[in-house]
């Protein structure tokens, strides 16, 4: 970071995006040096931390024609009353359908920042490690059943689980982080972390 504290917002954002390892430690450093650009830096960090790497996108594979044909044939052999005979319908993630404004409001209601909420939205946090009290608060805010929210969040991560700072090696697509890891790596304040830890069962 070789820019002055009087640098323009564009210069600061460009410098942050050009960092060789723009992780949560880097974000914290920028937030401390440029508090006037806090919102813009957090928005940019969300984009950077949740963007899939090019090779991860290329590595994603869709089911082949043969596997789809085999599954269709299997379903056709079942009786109509068999639960496996119906096409499975994944529950949509309610957090993905929120407008930017509602997403900000929800983060404020839950006393978290948008980076943390983005990780939750992107199914990057292991659901079994999230306190039920927190999940209940999210479900209530979204006016949906707790079971439906849990089912949606158990889906594979939409992208890699952000940049795991201080991790050895490159995070692989499909990795999820624990609730505690999300607390400590999402630029939450100490007070926010304390409140969320108090919700643990």
- Can you give the pLDDT at residue 52? 55
86's tokens: 């119906």
Residue 72 lies in a domain: no
Residue 147 lies in a domain: yes
- R_g over Cα of the chain: 20
**Residue 19: φ, ψ to 5°:** -60, 140
What is the tally of structural domains in the chain? 1
Helices 132-141 and 100-109: crossing angle, nearest 10°? 140
User: In whole angstroms, what separates CA 69 from the centre of its chain?
Assistant: 33
148: left (phi over 0), alpha (psi -120 to 50) or beta: alpha
- Can you give the pLDDT at residue 109? 95
Residue 82 lies in a domain: no
User: In whole angstroms, what separates CA 7 from the centre of its chain?
Assistant: 30
| Closest alpha carbon to 27 in 134, 129, 118, 137 | 118
Cα(45)–Cα(162) distance, integer angstroms = 10
- Can you give the pLDDT at residue 65? 58
- Can you give the pLDDT at residue 69? 62
Cα(180)–Cα(164) distance, integer angstroms = 12
20's tokens: 């060789």
Q: 128: domain range?
A: 9-52+97-198
Cα(27)–Cα(55) distance, integer angstroms = 24
Q: Give the pLDDT of the chain (201 residues) as one tens digit per residue.
A: 556 667 888 888 888 888 877 777 888 888 888 889 888 888 888 877 766 554 444 444 455 556 656 656 555 565 555 554 444 444 578 998 899 899 999 999 999 999 999 999 999 999 999 999 999 999 999 999 999 999 999 998 875 434 444 444 444 445 899 999 999 999 899 999 999 999 986
Residue 69 lies in a domain: no
């Amino acid at each position: 970071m070789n820019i002055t504290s009087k640098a323009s917002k564009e210069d600061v954002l460009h410098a942050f995006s050009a960092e060789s390892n723009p992780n949560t430690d880097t974000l914290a450093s920028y937030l401390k040096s440029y508090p006037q650009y806090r919102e813009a830096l957090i928005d940019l960090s969300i984009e950077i931390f949740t963007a899939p790497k090019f090779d991860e996108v290329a590595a994603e594979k869709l089911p082949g024609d043969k596997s789809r044909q085999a599954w269709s044939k299997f379903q056709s052999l079942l009786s109509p009353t068999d639960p496996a005979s119906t096409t499975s319908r994944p529950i949509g993630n309610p957090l993905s359908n929120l407008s930017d404004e509602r997403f900000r409001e929800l983060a404020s209601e839950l006393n978290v920042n948008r980076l943390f909420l983005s990780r939750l939205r992107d199914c990057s946090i292991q659901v079994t490690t999230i306190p039920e009290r927190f999940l209940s608060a999210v479900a209530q805010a979204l006016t949906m059943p707790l079971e439906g929210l849990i089912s949606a969040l158990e889906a594979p991560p939409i992208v890699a689980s952000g940049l795991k700072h201080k991790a050895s090696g490159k995070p692989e697509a499909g990795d999820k982080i624990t609730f505690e890891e999300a607390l400590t790596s999402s630029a939450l304040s100490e007070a926010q972390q304390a409140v969320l830890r108090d919700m643990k069962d």
